[in-house]
Chain A
Amino acid sequence: MADAVPLGVSSPVPGKKPRWSRKVKADNVAGYLFMAPWIIGFLAFTVGPMLASGYLSLTKYSGFGAIKWVGFENYDKIFQDDLFYTALYNTSYYAFLGVPAQLLVALCLAVLLNMKVRYVNVFRTVYYIPTVTPAVANVFLWVWIFNFDFGLINSLLRLIGISPVNWLWDPQIVKPALILMSLWSVGQQMVIFLAALQGVSEELLEAASIDGATNFRRFLRITVPLISPVIFLNLIIGIINLFQTFTVAFIATRGGPINSSLFYVLYIYRKGFESFSMGYASGLAWILFMIILVITGIQFYFARNWVYYESGGPPS
Chain B
Amino acid sequence: MVDREEKYIGTISGKLMAYILLALGGVISLMPLYWLVLTSLRPAGAEFTYPPEWIPSSFHPENYGVAWNRAPFWLFTFNSILVTFLATLGTLLTASMAAYAFARIPFYGRNVWFALTLSTMMLPWAVTLIPRFLLFKYLSLLDSLWPLFLPFWFGGGAFYIFLVRQFIMTLPVEMEEAAVVDGASRLRIFLMITMPLTKPAIAAVGVFSFIQHWNDFMGPLIFTNSEESRTLALGLRYFGDEQFTEFRLIMAVATVMLVPVLVVFFAANKYFVSGVALSGLAGR
Contacts and interface: CB of A to CB of B under 8 A. Distances in A.
9 contacts: A49-B131, A49-B132, A112-B21, A134-B233, A134-B258, A140-B240, A268-B126, A285-B127, A289-B123
Contact of A125 (B98, B121, B251, B269): B269
Nearest to B107: A31
Interface of B: 1-3, 7-9, 15, 18-19, 21-22, 25-26, 28-33, 35-36, 39, 47-52, 94-95, 97-98, 100-101, 105-117, 120-135, 137, 151, 153-155, 161, 169, 186, 190, 211, 214-215, 217-218, 221-222, 233-234, 236-237, 239-240, 244, 247, 250-251, 254-255, 257-258, 261-262, 265-266, 269, 272-273, 276-277, 279-284
Interface of A: 1-2, 5, 7-8, 10-13, 20, 26-28, 30-32, 34-35, 37-42, 44-46, 48-50, 52-53, 56, 63, 109, 112-113, 115-118, 120-121, 123-130, 132-137, 140-145, 147, 149-150, 152, 155, 158-159, 184, 188, 191-196, 198-199, 202, 229-230, 232-233, 236-237, 240, 243-244, 246-247, 250-251, 264-265, 268, 272-273, 278, 281-282, 285-286, 288-289, 292, 296, 310, 315
A134 B7 CA distance: 37
A184 to B, nearest CB: 7
Given A116-B9, A195-B280, A7 B22 contact: no
A141 B115 CA distance: 40
Closest 7 CB pairs of A and B: A41-B154, A31-B107, A38-B155, A233-B283, A49-B131, A195-B277, A192-B280
A240 B120 CA distance: 12
A216 to B, nearest CB: 14
Contacts of A112: 18, 21-22, 25
Contacts of B9: 115-117
A27 B244 contact: no
B280 A141 contact: no
Nearest to A278: B130
A94 B47 CA distance: 31
Nearest to B261: A132
B122 A37 contact: no
A139 to B, nearest CB: 9
Contacts of B51: 155, 158-159
- Of A53, A136, A268, A292, chain B has the most CB atoms within 10 Å of the CB of A136
Contacts of B31: 152
Contacts of B279: 192
Nearest to A183: B28
A154 B140 CA distance: 49
A292 B111 CA distance: 24
Contacts of A265: 126
A161 B135 CA distance: 56
Given A141-B36, A278-B130, A244 B240 contact: no
A30 B258 CA distance: 42
A126 B169 contact: no
Contacts of A237: 121
B218 A121 contact: no
A7 B130 contact: no
B113 A35 contact: yes
B111 A229 contact: no
A8 B218 contact: no
A192 B163 CA distance: 13
Given A140-B251, A144-B39, A289-B124, A121 B154 contact: no
A229 B50 contact: no
B284 A38 contact: no
- Of A5, A26, A48, A126, chain B has the most CB atoms within 10 Å of the CB of A126
Contacts of A5: 111
B26 A126 contact: yes
A288 B127 contact: yes
A250 B98 CA distance: 35
A141 B161 contact: no
